[in-house]
Amino acid sequence: MRNFNPTNSVNPSKKIRKFKAHVSAFGTTQLHLRNPYVIAWWSAAFPGFGHLLLSKYLRGYALFIWEILINNMSHLNQAMVFSFTGNIAMAKGVLDHRWTIMYIPVYLFAIWDSYRTTVDINRMFLLAERENAEFNSYVMAGLEINYLDKRRPLNAVIWSLFLPGLGQLYIHRVVTAIFTMMFMVAFVYYSNFLLAVHYLFMGDISQATEVLDIQWLLFMPSHYGFAVYDSYVNTVENNKLFESEQRKYLIENYQLNRVKIPVGEFK
């Protein structure tokens, strides 16, 4: 294991300005290029998801909890289901306008801020990539051990399909994994999803439909999609980071004496 030294390897007197990644006991946080429109789309699908993809956890969790609270108080999901089925009058009747109007500005802020932040982080990544500074690639703490290595993106997707959060545990995104699993349990419980599945297996389709709580059920598709996408993308990017760190280490320690071959000999 290399000792991490916060100085530039080329010029030891120069302090490192921007790190490309940080490995901690709770996960690996890194900068990499992202599509601002994709991040903004995830914020539109569920406020907070775009920021979580950017590793802006505090802002993402705040927006996520705000979405659940205000959405439930305004009955927005129920109104969406009624509007999708053509029951516009019922959609208007179920909405609580006191909460709906409060929902709009925060929803727009989540989309705008995730887009703006993505553009800024992309610039930071280009600067950090150019500096190519050293960062810690291994950490051993009292609670966890974390290190860079290569893992299979398909495995992360499969585990996320079993239960959102397991894919994040597979790649050691511990905080996001716990957060994702906790809310998935809440969504499944309050939507009566497993009870509806039970009635469905018994052949009682009408009862299965009746017990479902649409307000909570509509949170689940976005939650599943985010868990799969986040685990896949971060597995791919962690693999790239591992290769980049190994390449830098090998060049600095095993490629000091380069052999020069005259080009003319091959003509």
User: How far is the C-alpha of 120 from the C-alpha of 225, rounded, in Å?
Assistant: 25
pLDDT of the residue at 81: 87
Query: Do residues 23 and 147 touch, judged by C-beta distance below 8 A?
Result: yes
Q: Indicate the length of the chain as a whole number.
A: 267
pLDDT of the residue at 216: 93
Mean of the per-residue pLDDT values of the chain: 87
Domain count, the chain: 1
The answer as to whether 219 is a domain residue is: yes
Tens digit of pLDDT at every position of the chain (267 positions): 444 555 554 454 457 778 888 888 888 889 899 999 999 999 999 999 999 999 999 999 999 999 999 999 999 988 988 888 888 888 888 888 888 888 999 999 999 999 999 999 999 999 888 888 888 888 888 888 888 899 999 999 999 999 999 999 999 999 899 999 999 999 999 999 999 999 999 988 889 888 999 899 999 999 999 999 999 999 999 999 999 888 888 877 776 666 565 666 555
47-86 pLDDT tens trace: 999 999 999 999 999 999 999 999 999 999 889 888 888 8
User: How far is the C-alpha of 245 from the C-alpha of 249, rounded, in Å?
Assistant: 6
Query: Do residues 29 and 175 touch, judged by C-beta distance below 8 A?
Result: no
pLDDT of the residue at 1: 44
The answer as to whether 80 is a domain residue is: yes
User: How far is the C-alpha of 220 from the C-alpha of 226, rounded, in Å?
Assistant: 10
The predicted model scores a pTM of 0.84
Strands 27-30 and 21-24: antiparallel
The answer as to whether 94 is a domain residue is: yes
The answer as to whether 1 is a domain residue is: no
Burial environment of residue 236 by CB neighbours within 10 A (0 to 12, 13 to 18, 19 or more): middle
pLDDT of the residue at 119: 96
pLDDT of the residue at 165: 93
The answer as to whether 62 is a domain residue is: yes
The answer as to whether 263 is a domain residue is: no
The answer as to whether 114 is a domain residue is: yes
Domain span at residue 160 reads: 21-257
166-190 pLDDT tens trace: 999 999 999 899 999 999 999 999 9
pLDDT of the residue at 9: 47
pLDDT of the residue at 239: 94
The answer as to whether 12 is a domain residue is: no
* Region class of 134: left (phi > 0), else alpha (psi between -120 and 50), else beta: beta
